[in-house]
């Protein structure tokens, strides 16, 4: 119970911390940032998604989905004669000169990540932008020959997100530990159904990155399981409260007139 409520508290705290993120660059601004960094005017704006976090295509408020993601703006530069590594190195050096702090890409594809002024970017191996395949332009590739360098701008994690998430986790842990609850079938069923989402949320909270702490509650099948689990836990709490003895007494302490001892007659 305590860990389940702690995960909810961590999610609530992180959500509050994400209420004031930086703005994504406008289309032309994003393109200009990339074109200046790589010294290549052929940089092409590809796509944007303006929500702070949300379902881009087919997510459901009840069932969740597999495309819950941060907002982004993507620019692509086609690989020239020097090859992908040379282009990525030139782009990284250009962003560093512009004041961005950079690091190696988590994808191991020769790209990089960078941060500045509340923005976080990822540079990765991508499909080249060509008229014959506009739909695939800028799509990330997991291997093979990269025809382009995709650069995705996202909002960086606000400074308050981690401390508020930690405070929420601790508050939830204490609340879950001390709340009186019946450990009956309803409660245990709800807790078990919530386990996948609880573990996912806890793992994200322990290793904070740019992903939202509440991510585990948003995906299919974790989301419907967590919602059903929450309803069962709530029902168990309400039922336990209804069965609680009245104030000033204890279970079995009151007697009806028919139960009075003989010497009361």
DSSP result, 126-181: E----GGGTTTTT-B-SSS---EEEEEEEEPPPTTHHHHHHHHHHHHHHHHHHS--
Task: List strands edge to edge, sheet with 148-155.
Answer: 44-55, 68-78, 148-155, 119-126, 112-116, 101-104
Contacts of 177 (CB under 8 A, 6+ apart): 1, 2
Among candidate residues 114, 18, 112, the one with its CA nearest the CA of residue 71: 18
Domain ranges of the chain: 21-155, 161-243
Number of neighbouring beta carbons within 10 Å of residue 92: 23
* Section 173-194 average pLDDT: 84
Residue bearing the bigger pLDDT, 248 or 46: 46
CA distance 120 to 106: 13
Q: What is the mean pLDDT of the chain?
A: 87
* Section 27-38 average pLDDT: 93
Question: What is residue 262's predicted lDDT score, i.e. its pLDDT?
Answer: 36
Helix (H, G, I), strand (E, B) or coil at 229: helix
CA distance 26 to 7: 35
* Section 4-28 average pLDDT: 95
Beta strands in 34-133 (DSSP E): 44-55, 68-78, 101-104, 112-116, 119-126
Question: What is residue 243's predicted lDDT score, i.e. its pLDDT?
Answer: 56
User: What's the pLDDT tens digit per position in 49-94?
Assistant: 999 999 988 777 788 888 899 999 999 999 988 899 999 999 999 9
Interhelix angle 222-243/185-206, rounded to 10 degrees, is 130
Question: What is residue 185's predicted lDDT score, i.e. its pLDDT?
Answer: 87
Among candidate residues 248, 215, 238, the one with its CA nearest the CA of residue 55: 215
Cα angle for residues 24, 55, 215 (degrees, 5° grid): 90
What is the pTM (predicted TM-score) of this model? Answer: 0.82
């Amino acid at each position: 119970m305590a860990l389940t409520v702690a995960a909810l508290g961590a999610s609530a705290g992180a959500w509050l911390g994400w209420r004031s993120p930086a703005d994504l660059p406008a289309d032309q601004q994003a393109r200009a940032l990339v074109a200046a960094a790589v010294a290549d005017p052929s940089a092409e704006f590809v796509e944007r998604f303006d929500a702070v976090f949300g379902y881009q295509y087919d997510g459901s408020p009840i069932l969740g989905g597999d495309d819950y993601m941060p907002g982004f703006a993507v620019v692509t530069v086609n690989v020239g004669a020097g090859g992908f590594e040379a282009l990525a190195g030139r782009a990284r050096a250009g962003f560093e000169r512009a004041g961005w702090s950079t690091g190696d890409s988590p994808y191991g594809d020769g790209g990089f990540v960078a941060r500045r002024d509340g923005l976080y970017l990822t540079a990765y191996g991508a499909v080249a932008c060509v008229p014959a395949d506009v739909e695939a332009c800028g799509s990330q590739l997991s291997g093979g020959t990269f025809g382009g360098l995709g650069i995705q701008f996202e909002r960086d994690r606000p400074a308050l997100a981690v401390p508020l998430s930690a405070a929420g986790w601790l508050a939830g842990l204490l609340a879950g530990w001390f709340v009186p609850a019946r450990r009956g079938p309803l409660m245990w069923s709800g807790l078990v159904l919530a386990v996948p989402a609880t573990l996912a949320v806890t793992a994200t909270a322990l290793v904070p990155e740019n992903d939202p702490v509440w991510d585990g509650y948003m995906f299919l099948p974790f989301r419907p399981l967590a919602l059903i689990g929450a309803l069962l836990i709530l029902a168990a709490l309400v039922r336990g409260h209804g069965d609680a003895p009245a104030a000033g007494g204890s279970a079995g302490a009151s007697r009806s007139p028919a139960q009075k001892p003989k010497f009361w007659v």
